[in-house]
Every structure is written in C-alpha cells, then in structure tokens.
Amino acid sequence: MRNLTCPFIPVIRNKTEAAIVKSTMPETDTVRISVDLLETMPKPTGLRLWVDLAFDGFEFVFGDDKEIWKQAPSGWHKWAQSLQCVDCMATEEAARNAAQGDIDRLVASAMDRAAEFDPAAISVPQVPYTTSANRHSINKKLATAAGKWKTKNWSNGTLILPAVLSHSDAYRIKTVATPRVNAIVRSLESSRATGVWISHAGFDDLGGQGNLANEKFPSIISFHEQVNDALPSKTFTCAGPYWALNLILWARKLIDVPLLACGSKFQHNSPRPVQLLGRQRPSPKIALPPLRRSYTVNAELRTWIRSARSKFPQSSATWEEFDKLDASFSQYLGPSGKEPAMRQTADFYMQWVRQIAETQLAGRALFLFQDFSTAVVNGSHIGTKLPKQGGLSADARNPGFIAEQFMLQCLPR
C-alpha cells in the first residue's frame, strides 16, 4: 500500500458514502470496504479496493447470549454464516480450541470471497484484542491461516493486519499493552502482511469526556509509538477512522495514512450479527468549521449559530463560516436532512485534510496545534455553551473544549 498517490484512505460503509467519496474526495485512489457490503452493492469504479473481512464482528458472537440469533440477522451475519467451518468461531472457547486445519478452511473461504473483487489489499482475519491474553492464540491461528492462503493463492498481493482494540485497558496499562504489541508483531509475521491498521472499536474522540486529554489520547498515542518501535522497518501503518486523532497521529508521523469517515460515524464500529430493530435513528450532525468539531442538528443549534456569528466582525472569515451554516441550516432538519448533513461535514473535513496534506511533513504537527489553538480562541470569544446534547458533559458544550483536548496532543510532551 506504499504506492498510494493519495495521502488518505476513505472508509465506505454504505452506498451514500460511496457517492460522497466520488463527489467530495476526487483525489482518492484507494478505499476500504467490507466484503459483505461489496457483495450487496455495485462495486465502486475507478478505485482500488482494500477489502476488509470484518472478523472483529465475532466480538459480539463471542459475548452475546445465543438468544440473539433469534433476532433479524445483519448482512454481516449472513455473510459470516456462509463461510466454511464457521462453527469453529461459535464461541471464544471454540475458537481457542479449534484445529488449525478448520481455521485454515474458514480463512481460505473468506479470503477467496474477497479475492473475487480484484482488490489492492485484503485484511487479515483478526478478532479484537481485550484486556485478556485469551485472544492472542486465536489471532495467531487466524494469521497463520492467512499466511498459508497468501503463499498459495496471492503471493504478490498485499495483506493488512487489523489490530482492533475493544477495551481501553488493552493499551492504557503498559503491562497489558506490551503483550498486545508482541501479539500484533507475531500475527504480522505469521500472516505475511506488510501493513498494520490500528483502531479502537466504538471509540468517539468527539465525546468530550474529561479524561481524554490527560489519559486516553496520550495512551493511544503511546500505544502507536510502542507498536512502531516493534514493527519491521517499512511496515505500512494506518489508523482510524476518528474525527481528529487519526489526523494528529498522521501529523506526528506515527502513521503513514489516516483512514477517513465519509461525513458521519467518525469512529470504527465492529459489525453486529443482528439488526438493531426499533432503535430511533440519531439526528444528523454538521461540522462547525470555526471550532473544528461537529454537533447534533436541532432548532436550538441554529439559534446558537446566529448568536455565535454576532460575536465576530462581518469582515472576518469566522463570521462568513457561521453565516454559511445559518443560510444552509434548513436543509439539515427533518427526515431528509441526513445526507445534506453528511455532505456538509464531508466538504469541510476534506478541506481540512487537504490543508494538512499540503503542509510540509515536518510542519504538520505545529500546523494542527495552531489550527486547534485558533478554534480554542474562537470558542472563548463566543463564550456561550452549545445547546444540550444527550450524553455530552457541560464541559464538552463549551465551544472550544473539544479543540483544546486535541490541541494538547499535537506536539510531543
């Protein structure tokens, strides 16, 4: 994957996101997409594919009460159940005790399906890491099977090893993180992969929790540093999608390429085996460019935007950005507002990413620090808290709070 002509890789999770990549990210040459999705939608044209096998979905298979299978199966579940020898992944204990031959057949079945799409890269099947070392042997078996398949069927192809963490303690505590790093390196060697993708499943770096700046963000950055120190030279590295942490890791030269969300869901979510029926769809979010954050759309937010705009001179770029949000706000409301909100967020996000990419590598971390500093100043100038949003603390409603958390991670301490 080192022959990329574009310095980022979008992650496609549905047809709308595929269209957004085409319209908003025209420089894209490679996208990541799961094989179960590829089998149900038109193959993206004019793009190289990194096909993800999404074995981290087995996290929910291992953990859920088996009554869950009586619910409506997801597309991922239908795909996984069609694989050979999938019963050896029915439980975590079954996976640990499975014969290598059965794991080999399971992995070959999955990778054969991915290879049908003529991909530029395929993910090695791996289950998420937890605080326990029990997953290490499972991932070693899966990686070994992938290495055998590559040797036999795809000797010149590119494999990328996922290192998906499902619990913050898997990297936060060094005595726990070090075995994870060692396990990642062993799986890399066994699979014959040449790249590593690191992500924390379900982690929202826009969440605004008070411990992010002083604990969680530094722990994730430290984990990347540990992994990089242990990897063979020239190993391709990537991380995300997040809102900003992926860009900070990129700017600090801790990864080669950030994975990008396409206008929504700026986090990695492992696929679930069942559809979450009856769940209310969340309101869409839009980007607030002067603050380098996004926020949930509602009528109160429009009132807040107008108030924030009034704090700046009409000749300023910040006033213009808030005025543009106000003028377009109606289209983000109601049932039809999701896609316009995604496109507004994607448009801003790509302008931001391009600014970073156009900055010389040696100066990117400082550029991001200064960029977030400006957002902090803008937030201080506004002064008024953002409207209440479920699950968001009062501190996180301070306009510049999120930017300040990110700013503190841009430069080595």
Element (H, E) at 199: strand 195-200
**Radius of gyration (Cα) for the chain, nearest Å?**
21
Task: Compute the distance between CA of residue 399 and CA of residue 308 in angstroms, rounded to an integer.
Answer: 10
Q: What is the mean pLDDT of residues 200-213?
A: 88
**Among 157-161, 198-202, 403-407, which is the least confidently predicted range?**
198-202
Phi/psi at 177 (5° precision): -65, -40
Identify any residues that bridge with 196 across adjacent strands, giving them in sequence order. Answer: 161, 237
Task: Compute the distance between CA of residue 413 and CA of residue 179 in angstroms, rounded to an integer.
Answer: 25
Q: How confident is the model at residue 59, as a pLDDT?
A: 87
Residues carrying CATH 3.20.20, the chain: 9-260
**Considering the chain, what percentage of its residues have pLDDT values greater than 70?**
92
Q: How confident is the model at residue 340, as a pLDDT?
A: 97
Closest to 387 in 3D by CA, of 299, 294, 286 = 299
Task: Compute the distance between CA of residue 304 and CA of residue 283 in angstroms, rounded to an integer.
Answer: 17
Task: Compute the distance between CA of residue 64 and CA of residue 76 in angstroms, rounded to an integer.
Answer: 16
Identify any residues that bridge with 129 across adjacent strands, giving them in sequence order. Answer: 165
CATH 1.10.3470 fits 9-260, yes or no: no
Condensed to tens digits (0 to 9), the pLDDT of residues 76-96 reads 988 999 999 999 998 999 999
Q: How confident is the model at residue 3, as a pLDDT?
A: 67
Structure tokens at 204: 């929202």
Q: How confident is the model at residue 75, as a pLDDT?
A: 87
Whole-number mean pLDDT of the chain? 92
Task: Compute the distance between CA of residue 379 and CA of residue 404 in angstroms, rounded to an integer.
Answer: 10
Q: How confident is the model at residue 398, as a pLDDT?
A: 96
Confidence of residue 272 (pLDDT cuts 50, 70, 90): confident
Condensed to tens digits (0 to 9), the pLDDT of residues 182-191 reads 999 999 999 9
Q: How confident is the model at residue 381, as a pLDDT?
A: 97
Condensed to tens digits (0 to 9), the pLDDT of residues 23-35 reads 999 999 999 999 9
- Residues in Cβ contact with 146 at an 8 Å cutoff, skipping those fewer than 6 apart: 107, 111, 124, 125, 159, 190, 191, 192, 193
Q: Which residue has the higher pLDDT, 130 or 340?
A: 340
